[in-house]
Amino acid sequence: MPADPHTRAGGTGAADDALAAMTSRLGAMLADLEELVTCESFSADRPALARSARTVAAQGARLLGAEPETIVVDGVPHLRWTFGAPRVLLLGHHDTVWPPGSLADRPWTVRDGVATGPGVFDMKAGLVQMFHALASLPSLDGVCVLVTGDEEVGSATSRALVEEAARGCAAAFVLEASGDGGALKTARKGVSNYEIVVHGRAAHAGLEPEKGVNSAVEIAHQILAVEAIAARAGDGTTLTPTLLAAGTAGNTVPARASLAVDVRVPTQAAQQEVDDLLHGLEPRVPGARLELRGGPNRPPLESAASAELFALAGRLAAARGLGPLRGVAVGGASDGNYTAGAGCPTLDGLGAVGGGAHADDEHVAVAEMPRRALLLADLVGAAR
């Protein structure tokens, strides 16, 4: 990493020239963004993902000068470009939460400096910015680019690829959308997903309810137990009961009940503590039996994993006249959780500036695209 990013930028004139050069790419960026947004890529639609992967691969090949390796796992396509011995990982995903046909109600538009369309903010603009940032560099030696196809649904088929790539790199830059006002994401909570299953015994609710073991009553006790764990947890740990089910008929003591619990934790220690407490739950209704399914899904991206890279980004942004950067901790997870969990310093939220992820008002601030691409190009150059 350079000791003085001002020297690398070459002074104010060079900084202005670099931003002007990247800004000259804006028309091409918008054309590329339209190409990606209008190629729908719902996570659960395998044919759509295949089309999207081909589109992203062609766009990346044109801008990077190399074809990617296409890795298909359980029908989900992932793309990987490798240049030399990688020292820097650039990470993104091409799947979205928008079902097929969403373009009909939310068409691609650019109006008053704002681009809209399904997946434009999360995270197709980030992919475009990444490709154009890399295209501006004189060499891509030491860079690995990984674009996955299942991030929105938990990265089950890509997690191993992400962790493998991260373990060999000195830095990971995640092109997920920024936080409010363009903030970089310097910490993300870890995620654990659990299902508490109660096994009881059925009986006729009118004739002999006393012969049953009521799983609905037991799951009610377990909801209160989960709430008690949540109440004693600190440092931003949350346990949220979500999906609840019990019984099969209105006149039958329910033999089975289940409760899904969403857990978000700021540290690995908190993730382990919650896991231990949930495994220690005991039944309250005589004859009921508990089964705990699931566990930690994504480790937390702790602030220590991003601190040095965030400081570097701040120095580079100042040298380019891109203004002060803000960092923010968020509850949502990304594949950056996996890179940090693998021991790789990670900086997230380097993608689009805008808002409305997963919502009807999803949008991107067009003028920020060259600025973020320039920052990314500087980060890649400094971290290799």
pLDDT score at 235: 82
**146, 165 in Cβ contact below 8 A?**
yes
Whether 293 and 308 map to the same domain: the answer is no
The type of residue at 100 is P
Whether 197 and 273 map to the same domain: the answer is yes
196: domain CATH number?
A: 3.30.70.360
- For 130-139, letters b (16+ CB in 10 Å) and e give bbbbbbbbee
pLDDT score at 12: 61
- For 239-258, letters b (16+ CB in 10 Å) and e give bebeeeebbeeeeebbbbbb
User: What does 196-253 look like in DSSP terms, one character per residue?
Assistant: EEEE-B--BTTT-GGGSB-HHHHHHHHHHHHHHHHHH--TT-EEEEEEEEE-S-TTB-
Whether 374 and 315 map to the same domain: the answer is yes
Q: Both tokens of residue 147?
A: 């674009």
Rounded Cα gap, residues 375 and 225, in angstroms: 47
- The residues that bridge with 245 in the sheet, in sequence order, are 258
The conformation of residue 156, written as its DSSP 8-state character, comes to: T
| Active-site position among 95, 152, 176, 218 | 95
**Active-site annotation holds for 361:** no
Number of domain units in the chain: 2
Whether 112 and 174 map to the same domain: the answer is yes
342: domain CATH number?
A: 3.40.630.10
User: What does 244-285 look like in DSSP terms, one character per residue?
Assistant: EEE-S-TTB--SEEEEEEEEEESSHHHHHHHHHHHHT----S
pLDDT score at 11: 52
Whether 273 and 321 map to the same domain: the answer is no
Whether 236 and 329 map to the same domain: the answer is no
**248, 239 in Cβ contact below 8 A?**
no
Whether 312 and 231 map to the same domain: the answer is no
pLDDT along the chain (384 residues), means of 10: 40 80 98 98 98 98 98 98 98 98 97 98 98 98 98 96 96 98 97 98 97 98 98 91 98 98 96 97 98 96 97 97 95 96 97 96 98 98 95
**Active-site annotation holds for 180:** no
pTM for the full model? Answer: 0.89
Phi first, then psi: give them for residue 321, nearest 5 degrees.
Answer: 70, 30
User: What does 9-35 look like in DSSP terms, one character per residue?
Assistant: HTHHHHHHHHHHHHHTTHHHHHHHHHH
Among 243, 272, 298, the domain-final residue is 298
pLDDT score at 279: 98
| Active-site position among 40, 151, 275, 378 | 151
Whether 271 and 317 map to the same domain: the answer is no
- For 62-85, letters b (16+ CB in 10 Å) and e give ebbeeebeebebeebbbbebbbee
**60, 145 in Cβ contact below 8 A?**
yes
pLDDT score at 356: 96
The type of residue at 293 is R
Q: Which residue bears the tokens 């003591």? A: 253
Among 298, 330, 356, the domain-final residue is 298
Whether 306 and 340 map to the same domain: the answer is yes
- The residues that bridge with 111 in the sheet, in sequence order, are 114
**Strands 88-93 and 171-174, bridge-based pairing:** parallel
Q: Which residue bears the tokens 């090949």? A: 61
**294, 193 in Cβ contact below 8 A?**
yes
Q: Which residue bears the tokens 């980030």? A: 126
Range of the domain at 249: 190-298
- The residues that bridge with 290 in the sheet, in sequence order, are 198
Among 271, 298, 325, the domain-final residue is 298
Rounded Cα gap, residues 222 and 259, in angstroms: 8
Whether 284 and 305 map to the same domain: the answer is no
Whether 164 and 202 map to the same domain: the answer is no
Whether 269 and 248 map to the same domain: the answer is yes
Beta carbons within 8 Å of 138's beta carbon, 6+ residues apart: none
